[in-house]
A and B are shown apart, each in its own frame.
Chain A
Amino acid sequence: KQEVTQIPAALSVPEGENLVLNCSFTDSAIYNLQWFRQDPGKGLTSLLLIQSSQREQTSGRLNASLDKSSGRSTLYIAASQPGDSATYLCAGGGDYKLSFGAGTTVTVRA
């Protein structure tokens, strides 16, 4: 069974600073790795999807990398803004099922 861990659990940074969120998974036979954003009391918004054959994906200020051999994925958010404050979840997929990490709650201070 895929186990996903996210470190740190919470992060507070001043506006403008770059964010680095870490995700590790136990099963390297991962189908894909997906990063989500969740605002309090809301559903999940898909941010980036990395297929197992890919090493990274980029969308605007967001960049996510995937290293299957080490079982790690990293989400980078450049030049953080207060609107980036949310919980970020990573999830590893095996057979279309997703195993989620507990998330990193980010607070960007204005």
Chain B
Amino acid sequence: GAVVSQHPSRVICKSGTSVKIECRSLDFQATTMFWYRQFPKQSLMLMATSNEGSKATYEQGVEKDKFLINHASLTLSTLTVTSAHPEDSSFYICSATSPGTGGTEAFFGQGTRLTVV
């Protein structure tokens, strides 16, 4: 299957600082990528849809000024958590869909564990 790479896998930052997470599609082009957040023992919640060359679409309740998304190329989307606070500590995971596998299948990155101290 298609490969999505996410970096870093873990990051610890101080409260008030910003953190950037990268999501890359390694062997296919992705015009659309998705960013999810997962709290402990809970399922994935979609945060936003990242569209190449245009503004991201945010889900209800997600602050677009806090979670900045940039999708500048067909293989890279970035999520920047600005002025991070302890409540932003979570597991962030991206996905991209690939149409070349008999259907539109979603492939996920390895996830990023963010801890804000």
From B6, B43, B97, B104, A100 is in contact (CB under 8 Å) with B43
A46 touches B43 (CB 8 A): no
Complex CA distance for A36 and B43, rounded to whole angstroms: 12
Which interface class (under 10, 10 to 19, 20 to 34, 35 or more) fits B?
20 to 34
Complex CA distance for A62 and B79, rounded to whole angstroms: 34
B110 touches A98 (CB 8 A): no
Query: Given the complex, which residues of B lie within 8 Å of A32, measured CB to CB?
Result: 103-105
Shortest Cβ distance from B113 into A: residue: A41
B106 touches A43 (CB 8 A): no
In the complex, A89 has a CB within 8 A of chain B:
yes
Given A101-B43, A102-B42, verify A46-B108 contact (CB < 8 Å): yes
Shortest Cβ distance from B4 into A: residue: A43
Query: Given the complex, which residues of B lie within 8 Å of A36, measured CB to CB?
Result: 108
In the complex, A26 has a CB within 8 A of chain B:
no
Shortest Cβ distance from A98 into B: residue: B106
8 A-B contact pairs sorted by A residue (CB < 8 Å): A32-B104, A46-B1, A46-B106, A93-B104, A97-B49, A100-B44, A101-B43, A102-B43
Residues of B in contact with A (beta carbons under 8 Å apart): 1, 6, 32, 34, 42-46, 49, 91, 93, 95, 97, 101-111, 113
